[in-house]
Amino acid sequence: MNLVTFKAERFRNIRALEFSPSAGMNVIYGENAQGKTNLLEGIYVLSTLKSFRTHQLSETVQFGEAGSFVCGTTQSARGKHELSVGIAGNEKQVLIDRKKVDATHYLGVLNVFLFSYPMLEVIRGGPEERRRFIDRSIAMSKPGYLPVLMQYHRAMKQKNALLMRVVDPRGGLNRKEAVEEIISFNQQLLESGLEIAEQRKAYLDRLQELLRTKQRLFFEKDLSLELELSSSFLTTRNEAQRMLEKMLDREMQRGICLVGVHRDEIRFRVGNRELRKFGSSGQHRAFLLLMLLAQLELYEQLREDRPILLLDDLDSELDEGKILSFINEIRSRYQTLISSSRKELFSDNSDTRFYGIKSGELEMM
């Protein structure tokens, strides 16, 4: 898979930008606040309909403008497509080959994997960050996973709304009526939840195997690297059913769903110590990069295709040796776009294409 062309208008500090990245390594370099990360963010939005820097896409619109726009052409074994995303306020319009589509049909046409500073929240933040990170990776590698995940969250949202009506005296719903509906939602949560837990466990197991084959790049070989899933649905159907039934009274008292894969915890361990609590900042970055390599390889195995790689702020808090080791692993394998203020780190590769950026304007060097 390759991004053949990319265009952005009124996106952050980018007034108007258009370029055709090479199929290999592309380095976007310049001083801070010139638009390096903005460019990668635009490509990420084109792929995922989300930003890796903010939860509000409206914040990506250039100051004083009504909306922003990103578009691109992608080429893969499945064909060539033109993608575009228009952002206006909190609304977005997405098109494939100039036809309006919904997000479920759009996602997966352009698959990118990302490393950036905000991603450190995957390790440092709460369980939701880790679940979202793993779920997105599974969804890209296994297209059938996203509909199951969406079905689960839809049922959970409806169940939570029902539970809130029970708690609220103004809800107008008596307990007997609520129990029948909740049992119906529990069956939906059970069906999709068991599959999600199984898929997460299988993916993490394979990811862990690949981590260990690559750990020499950043960690000593005698250190154990582990990915651990804790889930109430990682059990038999009957046991999960009993847990849902057991928690029914408490859920109706609190007005929220207390059992299910939305409460799963994923822990990362190095040398039997939880990375979030005991790892250094450098170890956090190294572990994420190692996981990224494992995710890329697993994606190739499952999809028989290669995704696009975005690397933002790669040279921060990692020594030059580790950076070069990582670059050697990805060199000539993936279309890669790297933002950096240190052009010299990548200058030994004659196949690398360099772009300078200043005030949101790009120039091929």
Among the listed residues 94, 91, 112, the one whose alpha carbon sits nearest the alpha carbon of residue 103:
94
Percent of the chain with pLDDT over 90: 76
pLDDT of residue 317: 67
What is the β-pairing status of strands 361-364 and 353-358? antiparallel
Using DSSP, state whether 28 is helix, strand or coil: strand
Among the listed residues 67, 107, 60, 101, the one whose alpha carbon sits nearest the alpha carbon of residue 87:
67
- pLDDT band at residue 259, thresholds of 50, 70 and 90? very high
pLDDT of residue 117: 86
pLDDT of residue 290: 94
| pTM attached to this predicted model | 0.92
pLDDT of residue 25: 93
Rounded mean pLDDT, 271-292: 92
Q: Which two tokens stand for residue 33?
A: 């606040």
CB 296 within 8 A of CB 332: no
pLDDT of residue 171: 65
Tally Cβ neighbours within 10 Å of residue 334.
21
Residue 307 reports pLDDT greater than 80:
yes
Which of 24-28, 85-89, 159-163, 322-326 bottoms out in mean pLDDT, i.e. has the lowest?
A: 322-326
If you average pLDDT over every residue of the chain, what do you get? 92
Residue 170 reports pLDDT greater than 80:
no
Burial class for 42, CB neighbours closer than 10 Å (0-12, 13-18, 19+):
buried
Furthest C-alpha separation in the chain: 72
Going along the chain from its start, the domains and CATH numbers come out as 1-111+307-365 (3.40.50.300), 125-302 (1.20.1050.90)
Which of 49-58, 243-252, 281-290, 320-329 bottoms out in mean pLDDT, i.e. has the lowest?
A: 320-329
pLDDT of residue 118: 87
Residue 245 reports pLDDT greater than 90:
yes
pLDDT of residue 210: 95
What is the β-pairing status of strands 353-358 and 25-29? parallel
Of residues 348 and 20, which shows the higher confidence score?
A: 20
Rounded mean pLDDT, 96-121: 93
Here the contacts of 209-216 (C-beta below 8 Å, separation 24 or greater) are 210/293, 210/294, 210/297, 210/298, 211/290, 211/291, 211/294, 214/290, 214/293, 214/294, 214/329, 215/290
- pLDDT band at residue 76, thresholds of 50, 70 and 90? confident
- Looking at residue 170, the DSSP 8-state letter turns out to be G
Among the listed residues 86, 128, 83, the one whose alpha carbon sits nearest the alpha carbon of residue 106:
83
pLDDT of residue 298: 95
Residue 164 reports pLDDT greater than 70:
yes
For CA atoms 30, 33, 37, 43, the dihedral sign is negative
Q: At 35, phi and psi to the nearest 5?
A: 125, 5
Residue 257 reports pLDDT greater than 90:
yes
CA 279 to chain centre: 22
Which of 47-51, 103-107, 174-178 bottoms out in mean pLDDT, i.e. has the lowest?
A: 174-178
pLDDT of residue 177: 78
- Model confidence over 226-238: pLDDT tens digits? 999 999 999 999 9
Q: b or e along 125-159 (b: 16 or more beta carbons within 10 Å of the residue's beta carbon)?
A: eeeebbbebbbbbbbbbbeebbebbebbbebbebb
The CA-atom distances, in angstroms, between 235 and each of 40, 104, 205, 231, 239 are 40, 29, 16, 8, 7
Percent of the chain with pLDDT over 70: 98
The radius of gyration computed from the CA coordinates of the chain, to the nearest angstrom, equals 22
Task: Give all strands (DSSP E) within 166-320, no chain letters.
Answer: 225-230, 265-270, 273-274, 308-312
pLDDT of residue 125: 94
Amino acid at 187: Q
For residues 92 and 72, what is the distance between their CA atoms, to the nearest angstrom? 16
